[in-house]
Amino acid sequence: MELVRNETEKKICRAIFNERSSGNAKNSIVSIVTTAYREEVVTAVSQIIGSESKELCKRNSGSVLQQKDHNSVLEFSWDKFHRELLIRAPNTLQVFKSAVSDVPLSIGEKKFNNLMLTIATAFHGRNPEMSSVHYQLAFILAHGGCTQRVHFIY
């Protein structure tokens, strides 16, 4: 047996022994850890998000963002992409969603569309083959009369 001297570790021990019968120990421990060790928690979450993203963005993963054939482009919807994220990258979806809104989002809502476009853009950054949305945007701009290039001045 060892004496616990660290104040954070004492709080964790108290949570384990005092709240295990009520079932709140896990929530208390998570709260203590996220408060005391923010950087470590962010690093751990980043690893989870990176792992999900890597798996989804692999070449030939079958993601809706990799499908650029005629039918796939015409049948693409944010709802399809959202369902894929719920199954294949739920933690990534939750983290991005927390940056966009504190309340649940509805499909078709402006914030929902922004969320989906943001995630699609992040995945395109990881793997250029995740470009279905970008392909569609370019097609709309080119055939919608957009003829000028925009030059950024830094």
> Residue 153: what pLDDT?
62
> Residue 154: what pLDDT?
57
What contacts 17, CB < 8 A, 6 or more positions away?
none
> Residue 1: what pLDDT?
65
> Residue 20: what pLDDT?
66
Report yes or no: 30 and 41 within 8 Å, Cβ to Cβ.
no
> Residue 148: what pLDDT?
65
Q: Backbone phi, then psi, for 86, in 5-degree steps?
A: -60, -35
Chunked in runs of 10, what are the mean pLDDT values of the chain (154 residues)?
A: 81 80 80 93 96 95 90 89 96 95 90 94 91 81 69 60
Angle at 86 between CA 80 and CA 89, to 5 degrees: 110
> Residue 95: what pLDDT?
96
Instruction: Read off the DSSP letter of residue 62.
Output: -
What contacts 16, CB < 8 A, 6 or more positions away?
25, 29
> Residue 139: what pLDDT?
76
Establish how many alpha carbons lie within 13 A of residue 4's alpha carbon, considering only the half-sphere containing its beta carbon: 9
Global confidence as pTM: 0.79
> Residue 24: what pLDDT?
79
Give, in order, the Cα–Cα distances in Å from 126 to each of 62, 129, 130: 16, 9, 8
